[in-house]
Amino acid sequence: MSPTPSASTERVVDWLPFHFLNALYVSTPLPQDIAGLHAAPYVIRTDDVRRKRLWSVTERLHSALQEVGCDTRQREPHPPAAPAPGPPHTTDRLTPADRYDALRWTASGARGRPECLDAGGHMRRHPCGRRLASRGCSSRTHGEAVMAELFAPIEPYEHGLLDVGDGNRIYWETSGNPEGKAALCVHGGPGSGGRRGSRRMFDPEIYRIVVFDQRGCGESRPHASDPGVSLDANTTDHLIADMERLREHLNIERWLLHGGSWGSTLILAYAERYPERVREVVIVGVTMTRPQETGWLYRGVGRLLPGPWEAFRDALPEADRGGNLVAAYNQLLNSPDDATRYKAARDWCAWEDAVIAHEVLGHPGSYSDRADDALMAFARICAHYFANDAWIEDGRLLRDAHRLAGIPAVLIHGRLDLGSPLTTAWELSKAWPDAELKVIDDSGHTGSRAMRDATLEAIARFSTSGR
């Protein structure tokens, strides 16, 4: 009889690749011939993702493997192995290059003992002093894939509201090293507001981390949840100008830009206009907000999700269901009637959540999981931008990618992203020779641990360049 699932339950499958487990999430049948799929050991941990779903998957996996004669019994710990090569175990202050090398070492995995443990079985520390966490390791098992932790939570040392004109003041904050390398976090949506947790992607001893809320959302004022607030002065050009004004206000010469989803579009638009102000770029979830991308997200992908899409469409007046759905929602979200506006906002976010519902390694349900004011601002700003194609000429960002020459970049994109298919990231990487494309097989739009690791590695890599 199988044990009762708990947060500490582990099952070892000594030869199973992680992407093979991912196939079970989408109900892909086990292949007939699996004898040759040898790979590094992995531990499937019920506390790594949503427990109930993962427990179901591991039980299915356990049964299927037993049927083909594979041994899935829990293993006893091996005796300690000789120390594996790697960076010194020290908490001394290191150079940025040392930190990058250490992160690469912990991410790559060495054969033998789990890298989160030393030869005596004690928790090893990252050379920066942080404890290592391992996706494939525990005190009882010997996996190989090691995951560096996020940096510790920190608070901003400075913040404010910057007057950007048109009656708008945008919220900004800085944290980390005041003399460090500047990095700007560009949030998605549009209208999501800057995620304060994004600070933890950066080494606070190396980076001066800037987070801001775009017009109308987050802590910026006035807030788009108020129907009396006009969005006429809330366009892509306005946001580009706001970013440049913020750079000048903070006396920053050049900065690294990090963001994704809508933030990707805004980063590209800013970088193509001010390439001399951009040092590097790290994008997670590549978009360019072309009409074809918006059309796919709000109509085309409905072929894969017919039920939720019909609910999204049928929430509109019957006369609007055959036309531009985004434009129709934009009208409802600006209705003078409170009930009409909030129903439209909830219906909009329900559809967004349907598109990411399969992303069990990410954050399903995250669009609707907002306070009423934040939900209203998000839906209203999204519809405002997408109904107007973000005021970006179709294909312009791709056509002008030559202006990004000399700016190193890492483009990280999830293969399972239904709403923003990989095609956009692929096309951009071909037009931008200085950009490296990393495709994360187990990730959708809302990420996964593998996507987070790739992002941490990219940001750590760029910490070694000039400030």
Distances (CA, A) of 150 to 89, 91, 185, 272, 452: 19, 17, 16, 30, 9
Catalytic position from the list 213, 242, 417, 442: 417
Examine the residue annotation and report whether 14 is marked as an active-site residue of this protein: no
DSSP classification of residue 463: T
Rounded to whole angstroms, how far apart are CA atoms 412 and 419?
15
Catalytic annotation, pick one of 126, 238, 413, 445: 445
Query: Distance between CA 44 and CA 48 in Å, rounded?
Result: 8
The one catalytic residue in 198, 225, 261, 443 is 261
d(CA 185, CA 172): 10
- Looking at residue 456, its amino acid is L
Catalytic site includes residue 138: no
- The single residue listed with the structure tokens 């000429």 is 393
The C-alpha atoms of residue 365 and residue 161 are separated, in whole angstroms, by 31
Cα angle, residue 210 at apex, residues 204 and 416 outer, rounded to 5°: 90
- Cβ atoms of 25 and 57 within 8 Å: the answer is yes
Place of tokens 């690469």: 104
The H or E element that residue 55 is part of is helix 51-67
Q: Hey, what amino acid is at 379?
A: A
Q: Which helix (H) or strand (E) holds 236?
A: helix 236-249
| Cβ-based burial of 146 (10 A; exposed 0-12, middle 13-18, buried ≥19) | buried
The yes-or-no answer on residue 230 being catalytic is no
Inter-CA distances, 417 with 52, 121, 223, 310, Å: 23, 39, 30, 20
φ, ψ dihedrals at 190, nearest 5° = -65, 150
Strands (E) in 345-424, as ranges, are: 409-414
CB 90 within 8 A of CB 118: no
Residue 348: enclosing H or E segment and its boundaries?
helix 338-355
Distances 153 to 129, 196, 204, 224, 460 between C-alpha atoms, Å: 15, 9, 10, 29, 17
- 371: tokens are 């306070």
Catalytic residue list: 261, 417, 445
